Structure 1
Amino acid sequence: MKMSRSKAGKHKKNKANHYGIKPAPKPLDGKKKKTVAGGKSKASWPMRLNKYIAHAGVCSRRKAAELVRQGRVKVNGEVVREPFYEVKKRDRVEYKDKLLKPEERKVYILLNKPRGLITTLKDEKGRKTVMDILQGKVKERIYPVGRLDRDTSGLLLLTNDGELAQKLSHPRHKVKKAYHVVLDKPLSKNDLIKIAEGLKLEDGVAEVDEIGYVKDKGKNELGIVLHSGKNRI
């Protein structure tokens, strides 16, 4: 099964018995090139520690909070384990013994991720990652927002904007993703209705928001919209 993510957006939620007959939006044509945009943002002080780390381009605020709780961050030479600790403008914040400074220039990259790449900053097994494509092209420290599996292609956002990453990735915001799925065999409308009730995966059930056949394609090509952040999607 091949899968590609086409776009994120807001969709009205439908009842399960309507899914089998509603066609999904057409996916992107797969020819979009990566684009880079930058902007300025002013920091406000004092700033919460997890927000400070995110603005320094290390990771999202949610991940930054985990790093702080693990005792991996120092403020003025002392380990601080409170993510909401208020950092003053002249404080020294260190992670991995490196001084952090909030990025003033925000970078946003929309990458048409090809299959075969890992969505991570660095792979322990030495496999190619999405960062290999951008090596030497961006001076700011950026990171992917969300993830696409190795065998999945499609739209992937990379940025150093911790605020945006938080809004897009945190489960409470329920940001939806649209996928174009190519199967090795066709599915019936009854199959679609069953899938609409939820996909059973290794890490739980993924709620399906919309599903349908891709217009002008066979019944082995589906459009599916969901907001679950489960693995193997």
Structure 2
Amino acid sequence: MTGSEERLVKFLSAAGVASRRAAGDLVKAGRIAVNGRTIREPGFRILPADTVTLDGRPVEPAGRFHYIMLNKPRGYVCTNADPHAPRKAVDLIRLDPPVRLFSAGRLDKESEGMILFSNDGDYVARLTHPRYEIRKTYLVRVTREFTEPELTRIRTGITDGGEHLRVISIAPAGNCLYRIVLNEGKKREIRRLTAAVGAPTLELRRIRIGGLALGDLPQGAFRELTPEEVALTLEAHS
């Protein structure tokens, strides 16, 4: 191995093709070729002069990384994979020239608030992998006030569909409104928790990731993060 070699999945992630895990799946599926030869080993190493293709199309090395905060409105989905989705959150972000971006985690269609996008696969992986314990903060309005036993049950956690769901913290924030902190975002986790105690979620808005708050960014608007703000999003215990 030489110092200029690089793992194929790292190259694909840095180029904005997919996260490292998803890039590994692309390699295993035989969709990646190096110098015209199909590669199926995610650990394969390439040199700077090698030509990498995805489904026959060249993959360009990473250029400038973008780190974007979007205030997602309701009604938008956080997927790039469904070409038939009528309203995708990523379509609200318009960069010149265009850049392929990936969401760092998701908000479901009915939810709103802060979501981060980037073409830096390593950054996206750090924000989404549970081992990094990046905390996300939400304001959640439910159909009625929780009782103390219900709050205790939410803090302790419930089992739903074979998954253990629990929050880091939950505290009252207004009339039927609660501030909830998670460090692992299982699918529709908050909605499943509130439904389990008989007070379904009416509104859900993410207001903070790591040490960075949504602030006064208008709904549907986006902006680039500064290097200092990127670092704030990666704070594990804010």
Query: Shorter-chain TM-score: what band?
Result: 0.7 to 0.9
Distance 1:199 1:222, change over 3 A: farther
Q: Which residue of 2 aligns with 1:60?
A: 19
Please say if 1:109 is aligned against 2:68.
yes
Q: CA deviation at 1:135?
A: 4.3
SS in 1 for 2:66: strand
Any residues of structure 2 matched to 1:46-195 within 5 Å, and which? 46-135=5-94, 137=96, 139-195=98-154
Gaps of 5+ in 2: 190-238
Deviations 1:172-219, CA, capped at 9 Å, x for gaps: 2122211111011111122111001114344612231111111xx12x
Larger RCO (CA within 8 A; separation ≥ 6)? 1
Distance 1:83 1:52, change over 3 A: same
Aligned residues of 1:211 and 1:224 also touching (Cα < 8 A):
yes
Aligned residues of 2:30 and 2:39 also touching (Cα < 8 A):
yes
Aligned residues of 2:52 and 2:59 also touching (Cα < 8 A):
yes
> Which consecutive aligned stretches of 4+ in structure 1 deviate over 2 angstroms post-superposition?
122-127, 135-138, 199-203
Deviations 1:20-51, CA, capped at 9 Å, x for gaps: xxxxxxxxxxxxxxxxxxxxxxxx73111111
Gaps of 5+ in 1: 1-43
Q: Over aligned residues, Cα RMSD in angstroms?
A: 1.7
Amino acid at match of 1:187: F
Q: CA deviation at 1:159?
A: 0.5
- TM-score between the two structures when normalised by the length of structure 1: 0.75
Distance, in Å, in 1 between the alignment partners of 2:70 and 2:142 is 24
Aligned residues of 2:102 and 2:124 also touching (Cα < 8 A):
no
Distance, in Å, in 2 between the alignment partners of 1:222 and 1:137 is 39
SS in 1 for 2:185: coil
- Alignment coverage as a number of residue pairs: 187
Q: CA deviation at 1:122?
A: 4.3
Amino acid at match of 2:108: D
Deviations 1:100-138, CA, capped at 9 Å, x for gaps: 022220111100111110001142443210122124655
Aligned residues of 1:207 and 1:227 also touching (Cα < 8 A):
no
Structure with the larger helix share: 2
